[in-house]
């Protein structure tokens, strides 16, 4: 849960500062780090897949919040 919160905050920062290319790069980087780590430790299963999906959703939803806040700030 703490990791998801940190990823959500990172997503907000990416949404405030960068565009779509940055969130795609962050998502791919996160996946390329987490999945092999779980495979090396032989912990990859349904629960870890769902945890990865939750982490990815936290990062993406943070990006959407950051992008929304940035759009409001740009108009005013």
The b-or-e profile of 9-27 (16+ CB within 10 A means b, else e) is ebbbebbbebeeeebeebb
C-alpha distances out from residue 18 to 45, 60, 75, Å:
33, 13, 17
Note the pTM of the prediction, 2 decimals. Answer: 0.84
pLDDT in tens, 33-61: 988 998 899 888 899 899 999 999 999 99
Q: What pLDDT is attached to residue 70?
A: 85
Structure tokens at 45: 């299963």
2 vs 70, higher pLDDT: 2
Residue ranges covered by each domain of the chain = 19-75
């Amino acid at each position: 849960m703490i990791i998801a919160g940190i990823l959500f905050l990172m997503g907000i920062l990416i949404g405030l500062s960068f565009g779509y290319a940055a969130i795609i790069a962050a998502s791919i980087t996160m996946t390329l780090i987490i999945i092999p780590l779980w495979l090396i430790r032989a912990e990859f299963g349904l629960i870890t897949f769902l945890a990865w999906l939750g982490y990815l959703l936290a990062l993406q939803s943070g990006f959407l919040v950051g992008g929304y806040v940035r759009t409001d700030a740009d108009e005013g």
